[in-house]
Structure 1
């Protein structure tokens, strides 16, 4: 299944508010152009306090919302959101609303832990707690999206609205460490390493067997809930075994997303297409995998 990607980080050293405004609006034009020509996904990310104006949070989700408003079918992949810097309940709500606004399945969230301690300091979050906070975030998202009450930090909470995509919006675990691979396997979520790392994939496969979970790559969902009147072009990740409730008979919290006739996708389902050239309004613009120029 070929996948094409246009990446926007909106970096612009020495930017002015006027030039950044023009850059953001040009990115939306390019997203609409890409959507009309069958490009699979727009990719964006999260950073903080960068001198070159690297796209900050919550802007990846604000930007995703703007892309959805300007397009009809292209996905937006946030790769990666720095999970420990976010309030888990608030993030669950934001993603659920975007899933509803986009018609289901178009927002793909890759949750990582980042690599810059200064971003944690800026948000007053302890760097050494990032692993525990990431575990809490992922587990909370999966429970929150059921729409049912659950225990959270010593109290009972319920998150609304429920997202459209079944059993939940596309969620992947990002990272290039054994801890990240182990986390993905334990939760039964797809794993999204930053590079092709066969030894890490082998480790993840071993942990899947250890935890008794099944996880595959992520793909664009195909069907919606039965109670919706939205067009049947996006929506559902079938549960394990082709039927039953999410996680039925499994120890993991996450689903095993599949596509088409139920065949699992590769865990690296979003290879980047470097130097994607887009022509519009008589000018050639280029969105590469490092910068939008």
Structure 2
């Protein structure tokens, strides 16, 4: 076993996750480092080659979920998975990483420090024994655990043929919700999420979009565990030039529509929607039925 303390959780043990036990092929045993947290769970997954936009979106959604008491599950991979774990660790709720390799050594090796931080309050899980290599065949098997642990799966960026889309398919087979973050049509990593939305997945821009699709008991739990955002200065806008250009056109009271902003900025509506998504995730704006206003409250980073 690993030099780090690892326990074995069998399927008939009292602490075995109820959601995972309900899937068609639950693992007979799980190797666990840390303490498996109890509470509502949502997975956030995506490409290892996630763009800066995708990583910001994953980080923000995971942080917001954590601030609502929701446990974020991901796969400890590079890119979107790492951003999701980092975002969750920014909030107060533990996060869970499910590995395709064994728990020792950690893969990828540059995530050893991240794994250590996750295990302080949350857990690392694997179906594979210590020393098991992250072989390609192990990743789809691992992905069924990620979706099986979760009430829903958020896909941030994923190519048309990717592990994240396998996770989405498994989630649907398991009767779980599938959520997708929109992105630029020029980015090949949005082909997967956009295809899922066409097939009925829920498009999400904020944590409220996610919670709206979960059972009322989960929404009540989130309300009871919510960490209130700190008030920000009313005039504090975004620092990024592309976001500031949009924000400067917005009013505190009078809503502005996406197509109106696109015309003023001489940009297509898809690009304006992408920028508005980032502004809304940062709590700079409030959106309602295709129109937006400035927000007087946001997380004071």
- TM-score calculated relative to the size of structure 2: 0.29
Higher relative contact order (CA 8 A, sep 6+): 1
